[in-house]
Amino acid sequence: MKLVISTKAILVVAFFNLSFLSLNAAAAPPDAAAGKVKAQSCFACHGENGIGISPEIPNLAAQPPLSITYQLIQFRGQQRNGGAMAALAAGLSDQDMRDIAAYYASLPAPPAKSGNADQITKGQQISSTQYCNSCHGPQFQGQKHIARLAGQSKEYLVTQLKNIRSGARIDMDGTMGSAARGLSDDDIDALAAYAASLK
């Protein structure tokens, strides 16, 4: 079981890595300083420090740059429905997205959040039986195109897991959809509390 999921994870990571490399072959390298200038319109919600100003707005600080870029592409293409995000992403070029991603990725990670200790322990257990770490990293720090979950807003994580479980949020290759499908509401609360408690 474990082996099957991790092999799948590695294949997925390798696939997206390659497809992004070929897409970006002719592009200028990402420029975090230029990204900070381009991200001015994002600060009102995601903060200059990459910390969302309210619980439904995700932290972007220390997210893997490829994860930020890929989500922006999905908003722009309207594959992911995120309220204001589609209109905001519509005006961004691929290079803008890479520069903005480099800026937010370079910022210090969000602080760990305190929470109910039993829920956090339960979340950690579910995470290990469901192999969430095989994709999101040992400390949920994210990697490649896979989001950082550590220190993320608990409310945001709950919403996203429910949307992915129901299919309201499409995921790029179905692997996250199958990971979320078997989770109960209680499991989701516990996983979100655990992720938020990590730094």
**For residue 163, which of 30, 56, 15 has the smallest C-alpha distance?**
56
Least distance to ligand HEC, CB of residue 22, Å: 19
- In whole angstroms, give the CA distance from residue 90 to residue 195: 30
Instruction: Name 146's bridge partners.
Output: 143
Per-residue x/- track, 75-114, ligand HEC (CB under 6 A)? -------xxxx--x-----------x--------------
Longest dimension (CA), the chain: 50
Least distance to ligand HEC, CB of residue 197, Å: 13
Crossing angle between the packed helical segments 154-166 and 185-196, to the nearest 10 degrees? 140
Residue among 76, 136, 154, 165 that touches ligand HEC (CB under 6 A): 136
Least distance to ligand HEC, CB of residue 31, Å: 15
Structure tokens at 101: 């991603």
39 versus 62: smaller Cβ distance to ligand HEC: 39
Q: Which of residues 37-66 bind ligand HEC (CB under 6 A)?
A: 39, 41-42, 44-46, 56-58, 60
- Asked whether the beta carbons of 89 and 76 are under 8 A apart, the reply is yes
Structure tokens at 113: 């959040």
Residue among 51, 73, 107, 161 that touches ligand HEC (CB under 6 A): 161
- Asked whether the beta carbons of 105 and 63 are under 8 A apart, the reply is yes
121 Cβ contact partners less than 8 Å away, ≥ 6 residues apart: 194
3-class SS of residue 146: strand
Residue among 119, 141, 160, 197 that touches ligand HEC (CB under 6 A): 160
Per-residue x/- track, 9-28, ligand HEC (CB under 6 A)? x--x----------------
- In whole angstroms, give the CA distance from residue 193 to residue 93: 35
Least distance to ligand HEC, CB of residue 199, Å: 16
Tell me: does residue 118 bind ligand HEC (CB under 6 A): no
Tell me: does residue 144 bind ligand HEC (CB under 6 A): no
- In whole angstroms, give the CA distance from residue 62 to residue 170: 23
Contact residues toward ligand HEC (CB under 6 A) are 5, 8-9, 12, 39, 41-42, 44-46, 56-58, 60, 68, 71-72, 82-85, 88, 100, 127, 130-132, 134-136, 145-147, 149, 157, 159-161, 171-172, 175-176, 179, 191
